[in-house]
Chains A and B, each alone.
Chain A
Amino acid sequence: AQSVTQLDSQVPVFEEAPVELRCNYSSSVSVYLFWYVQYPNQGLQLLLKYLSGSTLVKGINGFEAEFNKSQTSFHLRKPSVHISDTAEYFCAAPRNTGRRALTFGSGTRLQVQP
């Protein structure tokens, strides 16, 4: 079964600075990976997904992620963050083939400071 690990529980960053949120995965089968964002008091929203093809995936709100098979990583990046990016970010993957459910990492809280 796939599992995902988010290495940082909190990431403070100043506005307009670049940011990277780290995610590592384990898998012995095909790899699908996702990043979701949860704004305060809201549900989760899909930011981007990797299913196959180009290893650099672009998502909404200027975020992108790079799938790295050799390092089993799927780190999320943004070159310049805004106050409005303050939220909880979750890396996720399918639980296992046929289960049709996602397993989520423990989350990284991005705190953008002025």
Chain B
Amino acid sequence: DAGVTQSPTHLIKTRGQQVTLRCSPISGHKSVSWYQQVLGQGPQFIFQYYEKEERGRGNFPDRFSARQFPNYSSELNVNALLLGDSALYLCASSLSQGAPNTGELFFGEGSRLTVL
């Protein structure tokens, strides 16, 4: 069975541009979460979506947005990119919206964004 898949794996943007990252969850998983991992730090929570609705949001500016589609895949959008947005963006899927509380998150390999 396929795990969580993310695309693209690497991308380079310049300041002020916009980026869209994509995630396909494990088959049967209805919840998708996004995390940002800056080099040398632990992942930071950005969003959780469940059944196409936003169920949680971390401390990120409005430049960050996301959505979930009927097939449970998800996109993360970041507008007006800053140098500090350079990071590994991780998508994680889970069976239920409460699953993260019990650690049952399945992570993709991430999309590495470099902002120049």
Contacts and interface: CB of A to CB of B under 8 A. Distances in A.
A45 B103 CA distance: 10
A104 B55 contact: no
Interface residues of B, number: 28
A4 to B, nearest CB: 9
A97 to B, nearest CB: 8
B102 A49 contact: yes
B100 A100 contact: yes
B43 A94 contact: no
Contact of A102 (B4, B98, B103): B103
Nearest to A91: B42
Interface string B72-116: 000000000000000000101000011111111101111000000
Given A42-B109, A44-B90, A107-B41, A101 B58 contact: yes
A100 B109 contact: no
B24 interface: no
Interface in A66-114: 90, 92, 94-95, 99-107
B110 A101 contact: no
B56 A101 contact: yes
A51 to B, nearest CB: 6
